[in-house]
Amino acid sequence: MIIRETQPYSLAGQVAAFLKSDNVPTAWSQEDGWMMTLCARSALRAILLYLRDSGVLADKTAQILAPQWACTTLYQTFHKLCFPANRPNPDLRGVMIYHQYGFPQNMKAISERCQEDGLFVIENSVNCFESHWRDCDDADQDLRIGSIFSFPKLFPVVLGGALQTDDAHLRQFARDLAPGEATSHFAKFWTYWARLLDDKGRYTALGNPLIMSQAMAYAISDYSQVMPRPTRNILTAPAVAAWLNQRCQNYARLYENLESTGAFDHLEPDIAPYVVPLKVPGGKAEGVAAALDDAGFRIGIYNFDTNRNVFEPRFERTVLVPVHAGLGDDDMDKIVAVVRSRL
């Protein structure tokens, strides 16, 4: 069995969730500034439209500093409403901070830089289940416009995201977007099914047609603010708490057993990450990644910003390993054994 970075979902579970009542509350409360959306990109689009509508972003040439490791689809949403710069410059209006793989950025340093330069903050929390900025005493809370989330990265759902903000005007603005858009229902339908079919059929004979379907879904997914019913019904408070607890346990087990190797020198304990970027001694990353791949853990080697600062990133090659709630102690012990065998 091939184990990837996300917790797999079952088709039966999606069907069962679809048939449930629409009134099941999610684990995140609207009273605490949360609004469920189709995906993270639809939450981002709502923020950008709000900034354009309020005059903070004058036009599509207004620049926002975006992380260098952000995905292509994120840049697509930016380009519709502003310009994503990947280097600091004097013309910036704001910055998107991205807690890479769920590990918090250096918010004190970023907050001070934003105060000096008069920049607002959009928090990209797609690898997180909470706002690190909101919980940080060293961050200027007035700088943050809002935070965007992507739940398929942490939980067994096909699609679903969220916007969290303390700005009541932004929340109302985002809510008003949904019923007024003619494409909203089509975008939700197409994006959900394209994502599901792509996940289940990418490596079959249907792969190429499904890639085109997914490409169209990416192009229109930010036009809906409505979370799919199955996702809403799956993300209940008890289920989310159980999955996060297992993720924390998996990470803690890896940390405890590999800390002495230096693989966690750049990471902190007591966190629930999306994946874990292991630091491996020079020249051994490929061997560790290949051994993990042979053992069924297929993620790979990626650059991780060990400086945790979008203004001054310091990228280092790391080997990613999964810690999602579909795994247990035996899986973590297997990862530990494989990594130790190649160090």
Answer left, alpha or beta for residue 102, where phi above 0 means left and psi between -120 and 50 means alpha.
left
pLDDT at 9: 82
pLDDT at 298: 84
Cα diameter, the chain? 57
**What is the bridge-based pairing of β-strands 300-305 and 83-85?**
unpaired
pLDDT at 24: 67
Residue numbers in the chain where pLDDT is lower than 70: 1, 23-24, 178-187, 190, 198-223
Judge: domain 237-342, CATH 3.90.1150.10.
yes
> Which DSSP string corresponds to 259-320?
GGGTTTTT--SS---SEEEEE--TT-HHHHHHHHHHTTB--EEEEEETT--TTS--EEEEEE
Domain boundaries, the chain: 30-228, 237-342
pLDDT at 202: 57
Closest CA to 304 of 100, 95, 66: 100
Class of domain 30-228: alpha beta
Measured CA angle at 28 (ends 101, 158), to 5 deg: 60
Note the pLDDT tens digit of each residue in 290-340: 999 999 998 899 999 999 999 999 999 999 999 999 999 999 999 999 999
pLDDT at 289: 95
Question: What torsion, rounded to 10 degrees, do the Cα atoms 230, 232, 238, 243 define?
Answer: 70
